Amino acid sequence: MTNTETATVGGGCFWCVEAAFEELDGVESVTSGYAGGHVDDPSYREVCSGNTGHAEVVQVEYDADALSYEEILEVFFTVHDPTQLNRQGPDVGSQYRSIVLTHGDDQHEAATEYIAALDEEGGYDDDVVTEIERLETFYRAEEKHQDYFAKNPADAYCTMHAQPKVEKVRERFREKVTA
């Protein structure tokens, strides 16, 4: 019986973040979706318009005996630039914002402390702008967006943006990567 927990984060295009987390041993599933907005059950097209308030996010189900929430945060903050306001690489708009959507007080406190430590360390030229909110509702993205990188590894966007994130995880978190 695994000790399954859930983390929900957004840092740009969900295809890229999803691909990075799928590399980790202890991750049971990663689901692309939308959260943090004001429209019920939005479509990809609606979220891309920037009018729903939602961010593209991933929901990571993981074995807490194999990975800690802090390790989830470490991977998340490694694979995206948390100092970019409403953008990641070529993707611009509030739907691509850096956000941690917490599942309870412990996660909220851990995320707050993690970001404070990042700012204190001064590892970035600019301040971390990652939002921290309690998750209200997660909407699963359409099926064509699930496991997108695995299904489309030769897609130009994936080779330019998802592949480097996957490689970064494989290199930096070698001991945590699924063989």
Average pLDDT over residues 140-147: 97
pLDDT tens-digit map of 110-123: 999 999 999 998 87
pLDDT at 123: 78
Average pLDDT over residues 72-87: 96
Q: Does residue 135 register a pLDDT over 90? A: yes
Q: Residue for token digits 């998802």?
A: 162
Q: Does residue 178 register a pLDDT over 90? A: no
What is the pLDDT of the chain when averaged over all its residues?
A: 95
Q: Does residue 13 register a pLDDT over 70? A: yes
Please give the distance of CA 55 from its chain centroid, rounded to a whole number: 10
Q: Does residue 130 register a pLDDT over 70? A: yes
pLDDT at 124: 86
Average pLDDT over residues 82-107: 96
DSSP-derived secondary structure for the chain: ---EEEEEEEES-HHHHHHHHTTBTTEEEEEEEEESSSSSS--HHHHHTT-S--EEEEEEEEETTTS-HHHHHHHHHHHS-TT-TTEETTEESGGG-EEEEESSHHHHHHHHHHHHHHHHHT-SSS----EEEE---EEEPPGGGTTHHHH-TT-HHIIIIIHHHHHHHHHHTGGGB--
pLDDT at 35: 98
DSSP-derived secondary structure for 22-55: TTBTTEEEEEEEEESSSSSS--HHHHHTT-S--E
Q: Could you list the active site residues?
A: 13
Report d(CA 23, CA 40) in Å as an integer. Answer: 31
Q: Does residue 128 register a pLDDT over 70? A: yes
The dihedrals phi and psi of 111, each to the nearest 5 degrees, come to -65, -40
Average pLDDT over residues 92-118: 97
> Which of the four pLDDT bands, split at 50, 70 and 90, describes residue 179?
low
